[in-house]
Amino acid sequence: MTLLSRPKDPGAMSDVRVRFAPSPTGTLHVGSARTALYNYLFARHHGGVLVLRIEDTDLKRSLREHEQSIVRDLHWLGLQADEGPDVGGRYGPYRQSERGPLYEAGVQQLLATHSAYHCFCTQERLESLKAEQLAAGRMPKYDRLCHHLAPEVVEARLEAGVPATIRFLVPEGDISFVDLIHGPITFSSDVIGDFILKRTDGGFAYNFAVVVDDAGMKITHVIRGEDHITNTARQLMLYAALDEPAPRYGHHSLIHGPDGGKLSKRHGATSIGEFRDLGYLSDAVVNYLALLSWHPGDEREKLTLDEVVEGFDMSRASKSAAIFDLDKLNWLNGLYIRALTAADLSEIVRPYLREQGLEFAEGQRQVVAAAIQANLVVLEEAPRYARVFSDDLVITASTHLAALDEPGVRTALEAARERLSRAEGEYFEVDEGRALLKDVVDACAGQGVKGKAIYKPLRVALTGLDQGPELFYLIAGLGRSRIVARLDAALAYLEERSA
């Protein structure tokens, strides 16, 4: 006999209900974030509901601060759930640790219909049985010894306090379903032993709890990583035994590192919090995660969340493993940074600058942001490029040597000092910086000094470097007083060398 999954009929697509169910045993990994994103995209594309459920039955490792961190990271990504522990909803509680009575009711239902039974086998017997089966070349699975116990024997042992688990009675036949990504999949029940629903310590097994939760929360589609495919057979059998319609399943590929191995710390940052702290923009991270094993059907690479929602189709998800390409994420992040206004960028980079002791005046801040914008791959780099605008920049004589020995340098620096020292105001708009630079160039040209004899010495005098932001940004953002002081220092250096 073949056991086919009896999927829910979502009817109108507005009835779609999906869930993201992380375990709060750590921070939000990029792989889990992509699962959350796919569920969010599917729900929003079909006008449905996204449920956040916290699977915290591992009481030793589950921490409330991890839950809060996961919720915070989801919000940062823009993936707000419609129901969950932070927002409530009709089908709570949304933490597994608070759903014990619901699991117990499900177990009792399965015992009443003889779909489950008590097992009193000790761990020692189970290990001995496994070793015996392996030695005989057979697949290890429980031999159903306790299934054959008489009801009165079971009752007597329970009354005597003999420790017992509750096992599911696996029916004979195949288990088949049509995966949204992989297509038809069939498992034989011959390879599945009677698995545990409730442990001797009173805790409930994952595969059982998740079925009770998904059924109770009216989940219509389960979208998760392909490492859960083998769980699906057990879960479908449980749905049938509980007389509940099963959801549709879609199992996306996992994320691997560039070396083909499972993405881990050895590949660098792997959690959403780490990428946020490094200065990746949430829009760029979401864009990148969406394109891992999925494409919009055209050549576009830079997509807003709304655009991904509109075009999201699970049939376009690849079955192949997704390779995490940091270079591509960096490229996308750079695109998003360069798309910001200078005003927005100046606010976003401010914490990174402050962390390095860099604070800029109101009239200076946006110019500095505009000056460094083209160089940034991540926001964490901002202090390195912005330091030339700060008072703590130290320009030593040695950094001037190559550029300040060129002919015409004194003329260029004196012309620059004369023109910039009488400019009105302290800081300037970018267009004013361009105009002031043109005035300096014109003044130099009138004295026969042109080209790199102006630009390179002027840059070195103002920054001590031979490359960096455009000169008009430096003129606009350094401030008149700082410019004059640095030009005076460069001229004094020239005077000392000529003495």
Distance CA(288)–CA(310), nearest Å, equals: 16
Distance in angstroms (rounded) separating the CA atoms of residues 328 and 62? 34
Nearest to 130 by CA among 235, 122, 237: 122
Q: Taking the CA atoms of the chain, what radius of gyration do you get in angstroms?
A: 33
Distances (CA, A) of 238 to 57, 115, 192, 369, 383: 19, 9, 13, 58, 56
Q: Give the HSE-up count for residue 348: Cα atoms under 13 Å, Cβ half-sphere.
A: 26
DSSP one-letter string for 234-261: HHHHHHHHTT-PBPEEEEEPPEE-TTSS
Q: How far is CA 107 from CA 33, 430, 495, in A?
A: 32, 71, 91
Q: Could you give the 3-state DSSP secondary structure of residue 186?
A: strand
Q: How far apart are CA 308 and CA 288, in angstroms?
A: 11
Residue pair 242/207 in contact (Cβ under 8 Å)? The answer is no
For 183, phi then psi, to 5°, come to 80, -155
- Integer CA distances (angstroms), 36 to 21, 226, 262, 314, in order: 8, 14, 19, 14
Q: Which residue has the tokens 């699962």?
A: 35
Cα–Cα distance measured from residue 449 to residue 232, given in angstroms and rounded to the nearest whole number: 77
Write the CA distances from 212 to 24, 91, 242, integer angstroms: 20, 12, 9
The one-character DSSP state at 167 is E
Residue 221's H or E segment, with its range, is strand 221-225
The DSSP letter of residue 245 is P
Token digits of residue 290: 């969406």
Q: For residues 325 and 354, is the Cβ–Cβ distance under 8 A?
A: no
Tell me the C-alpha distance between 350 and 365, whole Å: 9
- What distance in Å separates the CA atoms of residue 294 and residue 303, rounded to the nearest whole number? 12
- Name the residue among 286, 177, 178, 289 with its Cα closest to residue 233: 177
Rounded distance between C-alpha atoms, residue 287 and residue 46, angstroms:
19
- Packing angle between helix 452-463 and helix 480-498, nearest 10 degrees? 110
Q: 198 an active-site residue?
A: no
Tokens 């927002």 belong to which residue? 87
Q: Which of 60, 198, 262, 265 is catalytic?
A: 265
Catalytic residue IDs: 265
